[in-house]
Structure formats: structure tokens, C-alpha cells
């Protein structure tokens, strides 16, 4: 029942669509890699990956 309600609330073209960007960042202190996750609008994905 809940799936039908959620599906009917979503309108096509309304609101922004988001993407989850996961980057591996190397720690300068230990040399280990950590992962940085962030949610960004789809049109800003390339800018998020550059920084």
C-alpha cells in the first residue's frame, strides 16, 4: 500500500534530481584512502568531481 502512495506523489519534472558522488581521498598524514560521499544535483556532478 505504501509503495502506491509514494509512487503517486512523485510528479515527472518536478523538483531536482540528485546523484550520489563518492570520491576516494588520500590522507596526507597516513596515506590511507577514505571515501567522501555527497548528494549533488545532476547538473553539478562534474563540478563536484573536479574539486
Whether 10 maps to a domain, the answer reads no
Give me the helices (H) in 1-51, please: 2-9, 45-50
Q: Are 37 and 12 in contact (CB under 8 A)?
A: no
Whether 25 maps to a domain, the answer reads yes
Whether 33 maps to a domain, the answer reads yes
Report how many domains make up the chain.
1
Q: In whole angstroms, what is the distance from residue 12 CA to residue 9 CA?
A: 10
Q: What would the grid cell of residue 44 be?
A: 553539478
Structural domain boundaries, residue 40: 15-50
Whether 5 maps to a domain, the answer reads no
CA angle at 16 for the pair 20 and 51, rounded to the nearest 5°? 45
Q: State pLDDT tens for residues 7-38.
A: 555 566 666 789 999 999 999 999 999 999 99
Q: Give all strands (DSSP E) within the chain, no chain letters.
A: 18-26, 33-41
- Whole-prediction pTM: 0.57
Whether 19 maps to a domain, the answer reads yes
Amino acid at each position: 500500500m505504501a509503495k502506491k502512495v509514494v509512487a503517486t506523489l512523485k510528479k515527472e519534472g518536478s523538483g531536482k534530481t540528485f546523484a550520489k558522488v563518492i570520491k576516494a581521498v588520500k590522507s596526507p598524514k597516513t596515506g590511507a584512502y577514505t571515501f567522501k560521499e555527497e548528494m549533488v544535483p545532476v547538473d553539478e556532478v562534474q563540478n563536484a568531481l573536479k574539486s
